[in-house]
Amino acid sequence: MTIQDILQKQDLPYKAKVAHAELRAREFYDTIVGQMYNANCHVSVGGLDSITLYLFLQSICINVPGISVSSVEDKSIQRIHKALGILTVKPLKSKAKVIQEYGFPVISKNSAEKISSLQNINAKESRIIAIMTGKTSKRQYSRKTKLPDKWLKLFAGHHSEIRPNLVCKIAPFKVSDRCCYWLKEKPCRDWGKERNSYPYLGLMASEGGQRELGLIKNGCNYYSKSDTRSCPFAIFTRQDILQLAIDLKVPVPEIYGEIKRKPDGTLYTTRAQRSGCSMCGFGIHIEKRPHRFDRLKEDNPKEWAYWMYDVGWGQVLDWIGVEWEGPPGAMRGQLSLDDVM
């Protein structure tokens, strides 16, 4: 599948895209359960998109179990999971311990991985040069490899000699892209391996980033020894997934608010547009206020205070220029590592 294929299929009418999703879902099920693998399927469930996928599959009589590392999700999402009978998988590490051991998930997965390399004293020199300048080992320039100067100024202080005309700082905290691996990806992958089961995922190319690149490269259904999965909603847009949620009467977790329609017909959720772990900072720098940490303060002020002050998210947000408001000092210290998974 190419970017042109994705764009063309994203322009299909809504009903045509739903039919396409059903076709891809049935193909995957028939291949996994009958033709190729003689195995099982399951749905990896998180927020609204994958909850919608789980109920969509049920609506077309593909009745496979849903699994989730629910403990890392918002409390309102956890309640929906419990009501739907989603099976619980435990994370391999707590959220706080992942941050302590590896660093904060901030900016994006791609940028966080590059910043982690900049902070790693054992990183290869060629990798550092590529991140700082975009120059690869073949002396070619790669815009995808280079970290934007905006972030180099904040995180590349250990390597200032490579770009002497760029004033770079050394961040007082570590950055990492490893949270999802320990909290969600590996636990769910291990669950599937133990049961010879392969996942349906609620990913959409319209979300951009690594998800878009992966779906363009591998298509809706992908089969390999290392990564076999189905993404029936690959060609969906945000409007499609919200319309399908309405059509299927999907229970919407409180963190999203309600699905409403603007005067021009555009669907939106009245609170969060997307959800994730309460301590995830990927994309926080481009969110308008109230952003995800503001909503966390409203929903769970004690947990918010724990992440902001005790764990150090407040310092991280200050460093990257994201505004946030602090609570009274008396709110500190009311949660511990064991309280926050």
pTM of the model: 0.84
Predicted confidence at residue 141, as pLDDT, reads: 78
Residues 70 and 150 in one domain: no
Instruction: Look up the CATH number of the domain holding residue 251.
Output: 3.40.50.620
Please, are residues 175 and 317 in contact by the beta-carbon 8 Å criterion?
no
Cα 218–Cα 223–Cα 227 angle in degrees, nearest 5 = 80
Residue 263 lies in a domain: no
Q: Report how far residue 62's alpha carbon sits from residue 41's, in angstroms, rounded to the nearest whole number.
A: 9
Residues 156 and 189 in one domain: no
Query: Containing domain of residue 129, as a range?
Result: 106-162
Residues 88 and 215 in one domain: yes
Residues 23 and 143 in one domain: no
Residue 151 lies in a domain: yes
Predicted confidence at residue 1, as pLDDT, reads: 61
Residues 30 and 73 in one domain: yes
Residues 134 and 16 in one domain: no
DSSP structure class, residue 207: G
pLDDT, one tens digit per residue, over 230-260 is 999 999 999 999 999 999 999 999 999 999 9
Residue 303 lies in a domain: yes
Residue 172 lies in a domain: no
Structure-block tokens of residue 65: 């179990």
Residues of the chain where predicted confidence (pLDDT) is lower than 50: 327-341
Predicted confidence at residue 275, as pLDDT, reads: 78
Predicted confidence at residue 335, as pLDDT, reads: 43
Residues 22 and 86 in one domain: yes
Residue 144 lies in a domain: yes
Residues 21 and 73 in one domain: yes
Residues 82 and 117 in one domain: no
Between β-strands 87-88 and 267-269, what pairing exists: parallel, antiparallel or unpaired?
unpaired
Residue 260 lies in a domain: no
Predicted confidence at residue 87, as pLDDT, reads: 98
Predicted confidence at residue 328, as pLDDT, reads: 39
- Beta carbons within 10 angstroms of residue 124's beta carbon: 11
Q: Report how far residue 296's alpha carbon sits from residue 311's, in angstroms, rounded to the nearest whole number.
A: 15
Number of domains in the chain: 3
DSSP structure class, residue 287: P
Residues 146 and 87 in one domain: no
Q: Which amino acid is at 235?
A: I
Predicted confidence at residue 334, as pLDDT, reads: 45
Residues 17 and 158 in one domain: no
DSSP structure class, residue 184: I
Residue 173 lies in a domain: no
Residues 13 and 67 in one domain: yes
Structure-block tokens of residue 167: 């004033």
